[in-house]
Structures are given as structure tokens and as C-alpha cells.
Structure 1
């Protein structure tokens, strides 16, 4: 009898990888970037009820409320199991997630949303523009990077929210902030987090990089609205009450250095910086201005 049981155990163990590989929602995307973006990183509490459960190159945020959890972004499909493991290592369960918030409908931040929504049973929340892309699993021609972007698993259950709409989960209120530019449907999110006798306004901000595919020009007359929206996003971020800034890619806001410092000592907390959002906007508005100037030079007749 014992040998039979051993055979069964071996067969079950061998079947597990096959089942994982056959899961279409976990099929790897951008394997060449995965090593950079999905660097393993232990989950960490940033401040109060705010945690990071993602990777060295991709931030996935988690908010603990009195009525469950809120997850922000989904990373790549092949990172989903690590996100879920990180949630568990904090003493929670993926099934405790009540909402999944999306910053931008690109594969590196949204590729894992379909699997996470399935595994947690939580709806995905996004801007109206992003919701259309998430349901389709691919970007439209209004996205500056559309020509570069691989498709990702479509998300079945997406609820669109308006700019400044408030979402209440237990004792936490999360506000949606439209921050278009990097994508037409980019959305940032803000909430209040308290620790001991101090409270801080946390902002989980979408990407601001003015990347675009080879044939896309922000300065083209057809993209005048896109330029105006990008400029509006920079102004908005400067005006926010922003004590703690977390960005979708930590390197975009010095998050890697802050995290390394936090792991050495929590006091003073390196993430507490009321100038962080303004500095983030300043950095990428300069990059955007440089991009427009380069496009203008490219459009001039050659001597």
C-alpha cells in the first residue's frame, strides 16, 4: 500500500507544473523584461495600513482596511503567484481582497489583473478609458505606445469610475485621480494612512514617462488633446496633498533607495516626503518638454 501512495504523491507533484503552465491567465508576457521587473522582494509595510507586495521593478500596493484588503495593480501574469504568496506572508489571504484598482492598462501593470480577479473574486476598478482596454486585453491607437504593446489576458469584470470618485472600503476612503498622459486612461489613487499619532496622505501614482512608438508624435495636431492632458496631470500632481508617493515603477521616484533605507531603519521613515509628488511631476514634465523639443527638431527640414 505504501508504494502505491508514494506513486500517487509523485504523480500529483509532477502534475502541478503542467497545470500551472496550462493556465492561460498566467502565460508569461515580456519574458525578456521579467528578470528586471519581477526581481523578488519581500512584502513590506510602508506606513500604517499601506504595504508593498510586488517586486523590485514593479510596485504592487496593498491597503488593509477594517473590511478586507484593496490591491493596486496586477503586474505581469507570471508574477501573480508571487503577489499572492506575499499577501499570505503578511498574514492575509488573497480572498480577503475586496477591490483591485488599476493605474494603467499596459501589460506590465495589468497583465496579471485577470488572474488576480479570478483568484480573489474581487472586481477591477479603472477609469472609463482604461476599462475598455482591460476588457479587450489590448490598447487602442490613442495610446502613444500601442505599436509596441503585446496583448494581455482580458479582464471580464471591470467597473469604471470617474475622476475624483471616492471608494469606501471599511474605514478607508480611496479617491480616484485621473492622470492621463502615459496612457489616455491612466489613473492614480490616494488615501489616508495613520500610524501611532501621525497620519499621512498616500498617493499611488501612474507612470508619467513620455514614451511613444516610433511613428507617434505628441506634437502632431491630432494629439493636441493628449498634450493638454499630460500638462494637466503635472499640475494636478503638484497640487496634491502628498506625504507619501508610491509609483508603479519604484525607480521613477527613488523608491528603491527609500525601501533600502526603510529596511535598515523605520525612523525617520524615508517615504515621508511632502515634496515627492511635486518633484515627480517636475522630473517628468522636463522629460516631456524635452520630447516635444526633439519632435520639433525632427520635423525641421534638413540642410
Structure 2
């Protein structure tokens, strides 16, 4: 007790289910409660992947062996996949870390090295021709949205919250100041971007300014506070409706790889920016990321690009490439 290592044997009696729900309700990040979408995601991970196996276990009885068995099944062939398993493991580890801080358990039972690291499969990388085909495939109402998503890297939530006052087409910039927050069972709301880095000003490539001017004149809501992108009936964009009614048929018509998402345009835009000399810091700003790792995930290494780099290295030494020597 004098050393501060003593744990009250009466502590930790409540189950993981009870403690985890309280943890989600009271969790603070940067001094603020969890964002509604984040809390919804955590509750879904708990309900679907963590609590069915471990929820009835009292905290003080949650052993490392039980966590290993749970994670092994979750990350195995019958589980939801490695990325989901890593996300759920990180959530459980964070909950147990707080339990240690609360002196409810003596040590964190989540001790599997590397279990929280995601190893996502490579997302599809579009060609310029495919992006142009996608732009041509959507209705005129959605043309500017696709162009802005591709060439500025804005997220759908940021595009959905974009208002006229956020666009300055004379100087060619878009000010990202808010994002749509859609939570199941709750009324739509508008809040700040995902992080402080998400509040940013992004330069718009000049070649799409004309499309944006046309869009504002024909489709956007009126007034400075008017939403830039709305549906045919004048209502705000709904993610699921947009994905099924706009994106899916256009992606198929454009010949995009199966499973492509609007979010993949962020990766395309980041790669194009990198090819034209954007530094990691510049990519972080453009995409609204606080860490270099997050921004670099969106850069893709394609085989044709890699071959061009190899040829350029040979050229720098004055050596002929394979084609010239044969």
C-alpha cells in the first residue's frame, strides 16, 4: 500500500461489459468527449466483436490467455479480417489501460506484440483516364463534387458540409471548416473536421474552377450559408444514398476496380500531388492529417511508375537502360 502497487481485492468485480459502456460515455480525447461517430464505432466494435466473447468476464478475471484466445479467433480465417481485429484489439487495450489507471486491475491483459497494428490491403489506384471517365459518367449535378474530391482530397463528410462562403473561386481556395456527423438514430449535425489538422485551406487546381462556377450557378443552395452540394430535391447528401445511387453506377460505367469507394480519390489526389513534388508536410496539410504516417498511406507505388524511377536512376549515371542496350 505504501508503494502504491496494492490493488483492492474488491475492485474489478464489475464485468467488462459494464465498464466498457461507462468508458465510452466518459472517455475524453484532448479534453473533449468522443465524437458521436467515434462513440458509435466503438459501441459497434464492442457489440459485434468484443463483448460476445469477453463481456461477461469480471475485469479482475480478464487474463492475458483469454485475450490471446479471443484475438486469435478474431484475426483467424473465420474472423472479420485483420484490420477489424487490430481496431478491436486497440479498443480493448485502451479500455484496460484506463482500468489500470483506475486501480481496478493490476496490469493490462492486452500484451500481444503487434496485434494493434493494421495491415490493410492496398486500395485500388485509378488512372487519370479512369477519373475522367468517372467524372463523365455521373450526372451534371455531381460532376463538381467528384472533381473537387479528386483534386483537393476532401472527404465526403467535408464535401457534404461545404457552404458557399467556404469557396473562394477568385483566389482558387476551399476552406474546410466543418464536416457532417451522421449517427444512427440521431439527427444529422455539423461539427469540426476529424482533427485540428482537418481545419485547413486547400488550393483548387485552376482547371476545375469553371466546373465549380457552373455548379454554384445551377445546383447549390442560395446565400452564403447555402450548402454547395445537395440532392435533386434540395436536401443534404446522405452517404448511403450517394454510394448506391451515384457512386456505384458511375464507378461501374467508368470501369473502376470492384470495391472502389469515393474515399479512394483521396489516395489518387495525394499520389498525383506527390508526383508533382509535394512534400510530406504539404500532403499532410492538403489531406488534413496530423501525422506523416497517415498522409504517406495515401501515396501509391505502381509498377509503371517504379520502372520509370529505375530508368531515371540509370540515366542519372549515364548508363543505358535495358531497352537501349538490346
| Fold match (TM-score > 0.5) | no
* TM tier, smaller: under 0.3
TM-score normalised per structure 2: 0.23
Structure ranking higher on relative contact order (CA contacts 8 Å, 6+ apart): 2
* Structure richer in helix, relative to its length: 2
| TM superposition score normalised by structure 1 | 0.24
